[in-house]
A = this chain, B = another copy of it.
Amino acid sequence: MAESLTDIARKLNVAPSTISRAISDPSKVAPKTRAKILSYVEKVGYKPNLSARMLRMQRSTTIGIVVNDLSDSLIAQAANIMQDVAFKRGYFPVLLSTEESRTKERESISRLMMTNICGLVIIPSSATASILENINIPVVELDRSTNTNHNDEFRMDDQAAMQMATRYLHEQGCKHIAVFFGNIDRISSFKSRYLALNTCAQEGLTYSTFFVKGVTSNELTSTARLITNIILDERHAATASAATSAGGHKKSKASADHDSGSGNGNGSGSGISVDVDTKSRLKELMLPISYDLSKLKSELPIDGMIAANHSLASGMVQGFNDHHLPLNKDIKLFTFDHPDWLSVLPEDIPSITHPLNKAADLAMNRLIDRIENKYTETVEARLLRPQLLSSSHIEE
């Protein structure tokens, strides 16, 4: 068994309190005894019992970090940074991932509260507000918002980001842009990005919004892929009908599944086929926010696509690969989040860097400032400016 403070006190013939002082407040003990104690403590590798200390002091140095999805490398990096900051400032971070599950979120927070955490950084979901209702420790919201204005918040300036995205595509000469979102009712960042779109009127630019079904990152990706395939099919059908529609093009894996059902139906020339079939298929893939398919087939074919996060972007890219279409040629792509895998693509995809690392740093530092009462202003929602990353647009 590990030695306790009292054990050591007996061994050295001093009072337990002396040992305690020697460790925590060296000035309050005679240098000589202090040296004796510390050397012995060092020798036997004494580790104070944190449970006892926390119980006695009625406070802990444990900070909870609750994130939505650790498999997301952006989030994982942010988590790392927060752990670092916490460590450096003398706190002990406890990291939990909810996988976008409310049940898990509830369990995790509940369990964290039992362990006497002294603060919490959380990437909230729409369920978080009610879970946090009776919590009386400092909380900081990262990346998303509960919209309660109860806590400090650090996240990207979605409006600025969307502005950059649309302006960029506008400059590239795009006319009609498809924008992919996830569930805007569940995830605040999708919502704010969607709302931002309304402020992004660019001359001669129109948008089609797609609300992709799915909760997890993987679900978003595969659904986005399917939708992209449908869009590319549509486009192909449209251009092909202008010329002669010569059978189907070559597709691989994923597009094969969804095609098997429709089998290109009544294809055989005759302008734009699809219609009913495509419509119903699209409906299945999207959230029940009405989308007017006719937009998709307006005179202006889609020549730009924006993914509101990197999971959606991954699906888009896979869709283009399925069609053996080069990225950024006929249709310009643009993605939020600047995911790692961009570096491995043969073509550049312009992107908005998500300043999540910076936000994470600020969030953890703010939390600790709150804990230590070094920051006592009213709550603040800090929006971090994103950055446009693109080989053909190095300004900013």
Contact of A79 with B by CB under 8 A:
yes
User: For the complex, what is the distance from the CA of A340 to the CA of B79, rounded to whole Å?
Assistant: 20
- Chain B residues within an 8 Å CB radius of A345: 321, 344-345
- Closest Cβ neighbor of A225 among chain B residues: B343
> Do B83 and A96 touch (CB < 8 A)?
yes
Distance in angstroms between the alpha carbons of A49 and B73 in the assembled complex? 34
A116 partner, pick from B50, B83, B107, B111, beta carbons under 8 A: B50
**Interface residue? A285 (CB, 8 A):** no
Q: Roughly how many angstroms separate A48 CA and B55 CA in the complex, as a whole number?
A: 12
Seen from chain A, the residues whose Cβ lies within 8 Å of a Cβ on chain B are 2, 45, 47-52, 54-55, 60, 70-73, 76-77, 79-80, 83, 87, 92-97, 99, 104, 107, 110-111, 113-116, 134, 263-264, 314, 317-318, 321, 324, 340-341, 343-346, 348, 391
Contacts of A55 in B (CB 8 A): 49, 51-52, 55
Give Cα distance in the complex from A96 to B80, angstroms: 8
Known: A70-B70, A71-B73, A346-B346. 12 other contacts (CB 8 A): A51-B52, A70-B76, A70-B80, A71-B80, A79-B97, A80-B97, A87-B107, A92-B115, A94-B95, A263-B391, A314-B344, A317-B344
Answer whether A318 and B341 are a contact pair too, CB < 8 Å, given A95-B95, A97-B83.
Answer: no
User: Which of B70, B114, B263, B391 makes the CB contact (< 8 A) with A79?
Assistant: B70
**A114 to B344, Cβ gap below 8 A?**
no
The chain B residue with its CB closest to the CB of A57 is B51
Q: Which residues of B contact A94 (CB under 8 A)?
A: 94-95
Known: A115-B92, A317-B344. Is A99-B80 also a contact (CB below 8 A)? Answer: yes
Q: With the chains together, A116 CA to B324 CA distance in Å?
A: 56
* A114 in contact with B47 given A263-B391, A321-B346, A346-B346 (CB within 8 Å): yes
* 11 CB < 8 A contacts A-B: A50-B51, A70-B70, A70-B79, A80-B97, A83-B96, A83-B97, A263-B348, A263-B391, A264-B391, A318-B343, A341-B344
